[in-house]
């Protein structure tokens, strides 16, 4: 991890960033990167123990909060905790995602369809609904919604996932219009395949996943979580001060084809 004292990585100094789905994978990588760039981080996840372990690892500038992004009361309580601890919020990263489900519109149950949209899309709505007032009261901030390359190009038997991620891209654009005058920038970020434990739902190990998925990316490999975290930190920082209402594809060229 890069030192907080390095002036090239202090872009988030004094900032408080809340990350949903922070307990593992991309979310944990984003939390570590934000901390390394000088920020304080709120590790929000329904996996309370895992979030607490990460916050303990990260130290005094990290706070773990248990939250269910599909439940407005839960998100409101989480933001009350943030307000009580830090008194401010400068960034929100909605990274929470439901387990991947294969299926066509014929195969999926209504419950499976609703679960995907509830976590990814409604979760972004609820996290933003309760985070934005605290951000606005402090003078503004940045929201990053983690989408997917499949918001741009579809894939088979993933209708709920594709629909939810595409919705995040347009949600970010609409929010950017609504809140620009309040000092809020809103963007989405669309990764390609990333080497996290999620891939083990389909492949026996990450090496096998890379062999299968890597060639679909122009760079010939899948991403590392740190690469997604670095791009997220850019969007959260003042380096992206003139960037809002856009989607940043961090997909190794997957969607070019």
Q: Which of 161, 190, 191, 232 is catalytic?
A: 161
* DSSP symbol at 255: G
Rounded CA separation 72/68 (Å): 8
CB within 8 Å of 221: residues ≥ 6 apart: 210, 214, 252
Contact, 151 vs 97, CB < 8 A? no
CB within 8 Å of 25: residues ≥ 6 apart: 194, 196, 197, 198, 225
Rounded CA separation 151/113 (Å): 16
Distance of CA 196 to the CA centre of its chain: 14
Active site annotation includes 161? yes
- H or E segment to which residue 128 belongs: helix 123-137
Which residues are known to be catalytic? 161
């Amino acid at each position: 991890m890069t030192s907080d004292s390095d002036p090239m990585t202090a872009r988030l100094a004094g900032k408080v960033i809340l990350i949903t789905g922070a307990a593992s994978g991309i979310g944990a990588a984003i939390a570590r990167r934000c901390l390394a760039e000088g920020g304080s981080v709120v590790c929000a996840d329904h996996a309370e123990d895992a979030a607490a372990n990460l916050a303990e690892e990260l130290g005094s500038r990290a706070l773990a909060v248990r939250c269910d992004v599909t439940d407005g009361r839960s998100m409101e309580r989480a933001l009350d905790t943030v307000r009580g601890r830090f008194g401010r919020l400068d960034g929100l990263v909605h990274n929470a995602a439901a387990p991947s489900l294969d299926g066509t519109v014929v195969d999926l149950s209504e419950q499976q369809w609703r679960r995907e949209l509830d976590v990814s899309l409604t979760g972004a709505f609820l996290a933003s609904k309760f985070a934005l007032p605290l951000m606005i009261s402090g003078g503004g901030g940045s929201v990053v919604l983690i989408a997917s390359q499949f918001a741009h190009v579809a894939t088979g038997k993933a209708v709920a996932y594709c629909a939810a991620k595409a919705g995040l891209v347009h949600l970010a654009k609409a929010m950017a219009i609504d809140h620009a005058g309040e000092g809020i920038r809103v963007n989405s970020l669309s990764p390609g395949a990333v080497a996290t434990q999620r891939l083990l739902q389909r492949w026996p190990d990450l090496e096998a996943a890379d062999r299968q998925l890597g060639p679909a990316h122009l760079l010939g490999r899948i991403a590392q979580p740190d690469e997604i975290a670095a791009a997220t930190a850019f969007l959260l920082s003042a380096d992206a001060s003139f960037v809002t209402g856009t989607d940043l594809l961090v997909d190794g060229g997957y969607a070019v084809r």
